[in-house]
A = this chain, B = another copy of it.
Amino acid sequence: MAKPSHREKILTEGLRVVHERGFAGASVRDIVQAAGVPQGSFTNHFASKEAFGLEILEIYHARGRAVAQATLLNDALPPLKRLEEWVDTVILRMVEHGMRKGCLIGNLTAETSEHSEPIRMRLVEMFSEATRAIAYCLRAAVQAGELPASLDCDEMAGFIFSSLQGANLMAKAQRSSVPLQRFRNILFTAVLR
């Protein structure tokens, strides 16, 4: 197997460091130190910290997209079961980090969307893609008779996605999965009755 290039190391370790410390909180020096590469290789590979930020965001988002494809968009499973598996997988990913990191997409929204228009616009597209996947799953649940035909699937999908982002944020502050479990319980017992 080929050794990872400096560029790959910067992306892998840089994603980790930004996820832990925030985008402004992780300096280029922090990133190259974590990657174990010379400082100059950052500027060799990335036109700006913003360009680097957009690339790590794509890597993170691709993982989320893979989860959505295995769950929300997976026509082989009953629709509400898919939604449950999606929520459970998101919760599990937060638990794996001891709830300390939160969602990189949510973090960058809070911190960076006001500084970088390209990052903000990409974040909006990512929210939109996730919301569409949830709406697809909800429409399948309506068609399967698992949810009432009167449900506005697009509106509910937006509500579910933003509420999960909020639960992530609380879980990060409290370093506890309680807000995420609460979101799950109320979603399936009170919201989607």
Stretch at the interface among A40-48, A50-58, A110-118: A110-118
Q: What is the interface of chain A, defined by CB distance below 8 A to chain B?
A: 20-22, 24-25, 100-102, 106-107, 109-115, 120, 123-124, 127, 155-156, 158-159, 161-170, 172-175, 178-179, 182-183, 185-186, 190-191
14 contacts between A and B (CB under 8 A): A22-B112, A24-B25, A100-B114, A101-B114, A102-B109, A106-B169, A109-B173, A127-B174, A155-B185, A159-B163, A161-B170, A162-B166, A162-B170, A162-B179
Most buried by B among A25, A100, A162: A162
How many copies of the chain does the oligomer comprise?
2
In the assembled complex, how far is the CB of residue A112 from the closest CB belonging to chain B, in whole angstroms?
Answer: 8
A175–B123 Cα distance when bound, in Å, is: 12
Which of B112, B115, B155, B169 sits near A169, CB closer than 8 Å? B169
In the assembled complex, how far is the CB of residue A123 from the closest CB belonging to chain B, in whole angstroms?
Answer: 5
